[in-house]
Amino acid sequence: MNTYTAAARPPLRHSLAVTTLLGGAVVWGLFWWPLKTLAAAGIQGSFIQVIAFGLPALVLAPLAWRNRDEWQGRLGLLAGIALLGGWANASFATALTYGSVVRVMLLFYLAPVWTVLAARLFLGEPITRLRLAALGLAMSGLFATLGGPEIFTAALSGTDLLALSSGLAFALNNVVVRAGHGLPEAVRSTAVFAGCALFAAGFMAWQSAPLPELSGAQAAALAALALLWVLPGTLATFYGVARLQAGKAAILLLAELVVGVFSAMLIGGEILSLQEALGGSLILAAAVIEARTESPGGEETA
């Protein structure tokens, strides 16, 4: 890759990266819709994930194997990415399938907060005053989203815990990737997809869920979700993130939260309570502040 200054980078290629990243954010913001639709059709949620993430892993596996010289000596790192990235996706998808989309999206988007704390603990990155303010806003948003004072008296639901843990795992996965940068995206994607499929299979075994008997239409819908939704959505996100400044990419990715919340209200008939609206605003503000604290280095283009 060549590095260009903001003034020198090709405008068309930069616009393509922005558009592609926004497209990926929209795909993931609407991810709840096929999950809930297929679950309502009687397909067990974990089985949906096994197919939705397992098929992309199989598609990318030959490419990852072709790059084996770059990861054979880093199996520990690859295992960490598979475990953390796999849990992040599996728990997030499960929470979306069975919980309130609005609430799940808000709780997941505390991920930037966990990233700041994990980067401080494991990478020694400083927590500046601006980042401290973002942490305060985000934790206030969490307090409001979970019901304010009720957080101290009411137990969190299983869906809440899945959503929170998915954001935490996502943040830790980001730190692992930053600590061992250089792995090809195909290799990292394969590890994450495989990890998610394995966790989903574990959920099925824990629930003693039998394999469903699928109709032709259901099988086709699952394949389409895997190959026409999950795989291109992931590749679009990776393409944009690799070619834009980290802070700019992080702000553009917030479109996922906006799309997820408003689509759940418009399509899914969910209601955004006043407390959730307040909490979401605080979390969104915290994420924007954190994105703006990223290094303003040059953007990359292929």
Closest CA relative to residue 162, chosen from 96, 259, 230, 260: 96
Number of domain units in the chain:
1
Closest CA relative to residue 102, chosen from 154, 186, 163: 163
In a domain, 260, yes or no: yes
User: Do residues 275 and 48 touch, judged by C-beta distance below 8 A?
Assistant: no
Whole-angstrom Cα distance, residue 112 to residue 177?
15
CB neighbours (10 Å) of residue 5? Answer: 8
In a domain, 3, yes or no: no
Evaluated on CA atoms 151, 287, 188, 79, the torsion sign reads: negative
Whole-angstrom Cα distance, residue 51 to residue 189?
15
Whole-angstrom Cα distance, residue 43 to residue 31?
16
Q: What domain range is 85 assigned to?
A: 13-301
Whole-angstrom Cα distance, residue 133 to residue 174?
21
In a domain, 1, yes or no: no
Q: Residue 4's pLDDT is what?
A: 41
Cα 132-133-136 angle, rounded to 5 deg:
90
Q: Residue 31's pLDDT is what?
A: 97
In a domain, 6, yes or no: no
pTM here is: 0.85
Q: Residue 300's pLDDT is what?
A: 42
Q: Residue 286's pLDDT is what?
A: 85
In a domain, 186, yes or no: yes
Whole-angstrom Cα distance, residue 81 to residue 191?
7
In a domain, 123, yes or no: yes
In a domain, 137, yes or no: yes
> What is the per-residue burial (b if ≥16 Cβ within 10 Å, else e) of 251-285?
bbbbbbbebbbebbeeeeebebeeebebbbebbbb
In a domain, 44, yes or no: yes
Q: What is the pLDDT along the chain (302 residues), one digit of tens a residue?
A: 444 444 445 677 778 989 999 999 999 999 999 999 999 999 999 999 999 999 999 999 999 999 898 888 889 999 999 999 999 999 999 999 999 999 999 999 887 778 778 777 877 777 788 878 888 888 888 888 887 776 656 677 899 999 999 999 988 888 887 776 778 888 989 999 999 999 999 999 998 888 889 999 999 999 999 999 999 999 998 888 878 877 778 788 889 999 999 999 999 999 988 888 998 898 888 888 877 765 444 344 34
CA 265 to chain centre: 20
